[in-house]
Amino acid sequence: MAQETDQIFVLLTGWILSYLPEWLRPYGLAVLGVVGVLAVYVTLFALTTWFERKGLARMQNRYGPNRVGPFGLFQPIADGVKALVKEDVVPFRADQVLHFLAPLILLIAVCMELGVVPVGRNMVLVDMDAGLLFFFAMGASTELSVFMAGWSSRNKYSLLGAMRAIAQMISYEIPLLLSAVAAVMIAGTLSLPKIVEAQSGFTDMLPHWYVFTPWGFAGALIFGIAASAETNRCPFDLPEGESELVAGYFTEYSGFKFAIFFIAEYIGMFSISSISVTLFFGGWGAPLSFLSFIPSWIWFFAKVMTMIFVFIWVRGTLPRLRQDQLMNFAWKFMLPLSLVNLGVTALWRFMNDDWQRWAACTAILVVSYVVLGLTGMRSQHVAPRKYRYAE
């Protein structure tokens, strides 16, 4: 039943393309795919902005959006119209070309990441053998747009925000990549659809998701924390710290250019959540065998939205870190733990499939967490002398 439902999109696409000449059909297929993916994620972006504002309001005992439309559901539309009609103010000394291109490059990069993510059974825009490598290559290109935005504004606060953002993104990209390598080592491929297929199947009704293994759970945790830092989500939102940098690298942006930064940040959050679901949570696979009749794309977006809810929950719960805490956490805890997790993954791959493998891998990871955690806490307990206030 689920496979038949998934084939509806294939049949619908074939029906639309049948009205085009033969030589035009490949281009029509590409356009349909791009428009479909963008329409889905832009719609989710609008709904998520409403959901986040209502969720944070609920956590903080206030109403949130409740004026435009039923339950404030039309608030994203009102915000979009406001951004469109707002005046676009550009500093006189700013580099006009780079100031204009920075948000566009950021949006294009995060949208291209979505092209290799399988959102359902046989539902991927571009099935690349090195899809994961392409995803991270596009993600790394976002640093260029952030630097362009900060430097082209000719504003000290914007430049400092850009430097903070680049330092943070480079620092947390390393554990992000290393945690993903663990899944690649077990699956033996860089193709995202094949990584999902490697997690298909059930044992006693439970799925073969990587997150249910010691190395997979540690990898998913590292990946989630690093993804939060990569997308500038709380508590890692220092690049746009209002109390120190006004608004960070997009301080001098207004109108729809600012809205493009806002859209790119949310679509980046969707893309990084999608890749996390693909690597560790079985992609579009059902959580239980008797639920396999539900269409695969429903399971995929249900998992993605669950991760988005976790992002929102963390934002409403944790305070912002200091800059030194943020960098120390990346280099003194996340990086060593991701390297340990790679060793544990290799151990899991070559040991026999029995309880000794579970015990050894779990023990190594637990000891590593405790040792690295205690070491990090000790380094943060006493600040350097030059940072202390005069007594």
Intervals of the chain under pLDDT 70? 1-15, 17, 19, 204-205, 241-247, 376-391
Is residue 325 assigned to a domain?
no
Question: How many domains is the chain built from?
Answer: 1
pLDDT of residue 222: 93
Is residue 109 assigned to a domain?
yes
Structural domain that includes position 184: 42-319
Is residue 380 assigned to a domain?
no
- Whether pTM > 0.85 for this model: the answer is yes
Is residue 281 assigned to a domain?
yes
Report the half-sphere exposure of 343 (CA within 13 A, side-chain side).
Answer: 11
Is residue 358 assigned to a domain?
no
pLDDT of residue 391: 46
Torsion angle of C-alpha atoms 158, 163, 165, 167, degrees rounded to 10: -170
Is residue 287 assigned to a domain?
yes
pLDDT of residue 32: 74
pLDDT of residue 6: 56
CA distance 43 to 180: 28
Is residue 21 assigned to a domain?
no
Is residue 169 assigned to a domain?
yes
Q: How far is CA 40 from the centre of its chain?
A: 16
Q: Are 121 and 298 contacting, i.e. CB atoms less than 8 angstroms apart?
A: no
CA distance 24 to 29: 9
pLDDT of residue 123: 82
